[in-house]
Amino acid sequence: MLATFLRTMLVPRMVIVCTLAGAGWMLQGADADYGHARDLVAHVQDDLQKAADFTRNNKKEEARYQDVQHHLSEFDRELRRAHFDKGKLDAAINNLKDVVKNNTLESHDRDALATDLSDLRTLRDTR
């Protein structure tokens, strides 16, 4: 009787183990994907900080930097929780577009931020 019980329990156990293993692989893939997105956010924030160092007492320009940093941080916070929030990413993209378009930038900073803007748009479009 014990042998029959063990055989009947073997199949459900195998199903549970395989299901959990599959779920783990899926989560690991999602973490890797979010890891790339989080690395991009960190890179953009670094480029923004370098560009902001050039700003001299212009409150509107400083506010634009703060807006994009804020929205990037909110987006990153959601990524950390395994949630890709396109609305927060769109807000960050729009803020970054305003910085590139309206702020006084050194040429290398403008080029770096324009590339970052393109990379963020690509990230959004691939999700």
pLDDT (average), residues 66-76 = 98
Gyration radius (Cα) of the chain, Å: 23
pTM over 0.85: no
Q: CA of 109: how far to CAs of 35, 44, 123, in Å?
A: 25, 11, 21
The full DSSP string for 31-100 is: HHHHHHHHHHHHHHHHHHHHHHTT--S-HHHHHHHHHHHHHHHHHHHHHHTT---HHHHHHHHHHHHHHH
CB neighbours of residue 113 within 10 Å: 22
pLDDT (average), residues 91-97 = 98
Binned at pLDDT 50, 70 and 90, residue 98 comes out as very high
Q: CA of 105: how far to CAs of 46, 53, 58, 92, in Å?
A: 15, 10, 12, 18
Interval 42-65: pLDDT, tens: 999 999 999 998 877 789 999 999
Residues 61, 109 contacting (CB under 8 angstroms)? no
Residues 68, 48 contacting (CB under 8 angstroms)? yes
The single residue listed with the structure tokens 């929030």 is 85
Mean pLDDT taken over the chain: 83
Any residues with CB less than 8 A from the CB of 61 and at least 6 apart, and which?
Answer: 55, 99, 102, 103, 104
